[in-house]
C-alpha cells in the first residue's frame, strides 16, 4: 500500500533512531513508502500535531504521490487523527495503531490473537465517536440523525461486550499459567526469561540454548507469543527458559496491559537474561527502554544478567565479565554462531546455586 510517512522531530536526542525505527515498523507492516515528510516542532499542535503549514505540504504530497494512507510516527489523539484525515482525505495511522497492526499480523497462538484483538478494541473504543462524526453525512440531516447515533451506540455496546469476553478468556489463561508456575516451584525448577529490545536476537538465542525452532527473523516483533522449553544444564539441572515479546520505546500502555498474561512469564521468572544487540549504536537507549517496561510490569527487581548478542557483527570476542562482588554481570555471545554459550550456561549455573529469589546478580549494571 502506497504510504506517506510523517516524521516529527520534537528535539529529542534520539530522534534519528526513533525515525529509523518507525520506518522499520512501516516496512514490517507491508507499507510501500513513497515519501517521508519531516516536521520539526518544539511541542505538538493541539489540532493537527504538525501545524497548518506542514498539513498543507503533506496534503499536496498525498495527492502528488497518490498515497493511500498516511503513517504518523507519533501517537495522535482522536481529534488530531480526525482533523488530519479531513485534510488528507485518506486514512491516517499513528504509531500505536501501526504497532497494533503488526501485532495482529504476527500473532500465531490463540492467546496471542486474543491479546491483540483486546488491544485493538480498546484503541478503537476511544476513537469510535470521532470515526463517525468526521464523516460529513453524520453531521445531521433528514434520515441520518437518529440511525447514525443508534448505530454508534450499538457499535460501542458490542465492543464493550467483546472486550469483557476477551478479558475473561485471558484471565483463564493467567490461571492456567499460575497452575503451571506452582508446579515448577514445587519441583524447584529454575525459571529463566529472555527479555530485550525487539530484534535483539532473543529468539535466535532461545533456539541456541534450547535446541528449539522458535520463529526468528531480522524484523521488529518477530516473536509475539511466549515460547517455553525445559532444558537440562549441567550443574543447574532442569531449567525452564521462556522467550518473550520484544520491547520497544514508548510501548503503548494498552499493549502492556493486554499482553500482561504473556509477560507474566517475565514477572515470575527467577532470572532475566536481558539480551542486548551489541552491534546497535542505540544499545544504551534500547536497554533503558527495556528496563522502563520492566518497571511498568513490576519486574524490575528480578535479578538480571546483561547478554550482549551479535558480537560477530560488533567485532567482540566471547567473554564473561564480573562485577565488583565477583558475580557475573555481562556475557558476550553470538547466538547465530553459537559462540560464548558455555559462558552463558555457566552464569545460569552460578545463579541456580543461590536460593530462588536471592538477588545474587546486580541488576543495576548498565551497558558500557
Helix (H, G, I), strand (E, B) or coil at 14: coil
Distance CA 169, CA 179 (A): 16
| Residue 196 marked ligand-binding | yes
Q: Buried b vs exposed e over 13-51: b needs ≥16 C-beta within 10 Å?
A: eebebbbebbbebbebbebebbebbebeeeebeeebbbe
| Residue 221 marked ligand-binding | yes
DSSP letter at 364 equals T
| Residue 296 marked ligand-binding | no
Give the sign of the dihedral formed by CA 33, CA 37, CA 42, CA 44: negative
| Residue 359 marked ligand-binding | no
User: What's the alpha-carbon Rg for the chain, to the nearest Å?
Assistant: 23
| Residue 243 marked ligand-binding | yes
Residues in the chain: 368
| Residue 362 marked ligand-binding | no
| Residue 200 marked ligand-binding | yes
| Residue 224 marked ligand-binding | yes
| Residue 242 marked ligand-binding | no
| Residue 207 marked ligand-binding | no
Strands 328-332 and 227-233: unpaired
| Residue 308 marked ligand-binding | no
Contacts of 121 (CB under 8 A, 6+ apart): 159, 162, 163, 166
Number of CB atoms found within 10 A of residue 350's CB: 19
| Residue 245 marked ligand-binding | yes
| Residue 244 marked ligand-binding | yes
| Residue 198 marked ligand-binding | yes
| Residue 213 marked ligand-binding | no
Contacts of 29 (CB under 8 A, 6+ apart): 98, 101, 102, 105
| Residue 217 marked ligand-binding | no
| Residue 93 marked ligand-binding | no
| Residue 208 marked ligand-binding | no
DSSP string for residues in 160-200: HHHHHHHHHHHHHHHHHHHHHHHHHHHTT-EEEEEEEBTTS
| Residue 311 marked ligand-binding | yes
| Residue 340 marked ligand-binding | no
| Residue 140 marked ligand-binding | no
| Residue 251 marked ligand-binding | no
Which set of grid coordinates corresponds to residue 162?
Answer: 467483546
Longest dimension (CA), the chain: 78
Annotated binding site: 196-203, 221-225, 243-246, 309-312, 334-336
Annotated binding site for Mg(2+): 203, 223
Annotated binding site for GTP: 196-203, 221-225, 243-246, 309-312, 334-336
Amino acid at each position: 500500500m502506497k504510504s506517506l510517512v510523517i516524521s516529527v522531530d520534537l528535539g529529542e536526542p534520539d530522534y534519528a533512531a526513533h525515525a529509523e525505527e518507525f520506518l522499520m515498523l512501516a516496512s514490517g507492516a507491508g507499507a510501500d513508502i513513497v515519501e517521508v515528510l519531516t516536521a520539526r516542532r518544539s511541542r505538538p499542535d493541539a489540532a493537527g500535531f504538525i501545524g497548518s503549514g506542514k498539513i498543507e505540504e503533506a496534503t499536496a504530497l498525498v495527492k502528488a504521490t497518490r498515497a493511500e494512507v498516511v503513517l504518523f510516527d507519533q501517537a495522535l489523539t482522536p481529534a488530531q487523527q480526525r482533523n488530519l484525515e479531513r485534510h488528507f482525505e485518506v486514512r491516517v495511522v499513528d504509531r500505536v495503531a501501526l504497532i497494533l497492526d503488526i501485532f495482529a499480523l504476527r500473532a500465531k497462538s490463540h492467546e496471542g490473537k486474543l491479546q491483540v484483538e483486546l488491544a485493538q478494541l480498546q484503541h478503537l473504543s476511544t476513537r469510535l465517536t470521532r470515526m463517525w462524526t468526521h464523516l460529513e453525512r453524520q453531521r445531521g440531516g433528514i434520515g441520518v440523525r437518529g440511525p447514525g447515533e443508534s448505530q454508534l451506540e450499538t457499535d460501542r455496546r458490542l465492543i464493550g461486550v467483546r472486550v469483557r469476553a476477551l478479558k475473561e478468556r485471558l484471565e483463564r489463561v493467567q490461571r492456567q499459567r499460575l497452575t503451571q508456575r506452582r508446579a515448577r516451584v514445587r519441583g524447584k525448577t529454575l525459571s529463566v526469561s529472555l527479555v530485550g529490545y525487539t530484534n535483539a536476537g532473543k529468539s535466535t538465542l532461545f533456539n541456541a540454548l534450547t535446541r528449539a525452532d522458535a520463529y526468528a527473523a531480522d524484523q521488529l516483533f518477530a516473536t509475539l507469543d511466549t515460547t517455553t522449553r525445559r532444558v537440562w544444564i549441567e550443574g543447574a539441572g532442569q531449567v525452564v527458559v521462556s522467550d518473550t515479546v520484544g520491547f520497544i520505546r514508548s510501548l503503548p500502555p494498552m499493549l502492556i496491559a493486554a499482553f500482561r498474561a504473556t509477560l507474566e512469564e517475565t514477572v515470575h521468572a527467577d532470572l532475566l537474561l536481558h539480551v542486548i544487540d551489541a552491534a546497535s549504536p542505540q544499545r544504551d537507549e534500547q536497554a533503558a527502554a527495556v528496563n522502563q517496561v520492566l518497571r511498568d510490569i513490576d519486574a524490575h527487581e528480578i535479578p538480571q544478567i546483561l547478554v550482549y548478542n551479535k558480537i560477530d557483527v560488533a567485532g567482540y570476542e566471547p567473554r564473561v565479565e564480573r562485577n565488583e562482588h565477583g558475580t557475573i554481570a555481562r556475557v558476550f555471545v553470538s547466538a547465530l554462531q553459537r559462540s560464548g554459550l558455555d559462558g552463558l550456561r555457566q552464569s545460569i549455573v552460578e545463579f541456580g546455586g543461590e536460593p530462588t529469589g536471592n538477588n545474587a546478580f546486580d541488576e543495576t549494571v548498565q551497558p558500557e
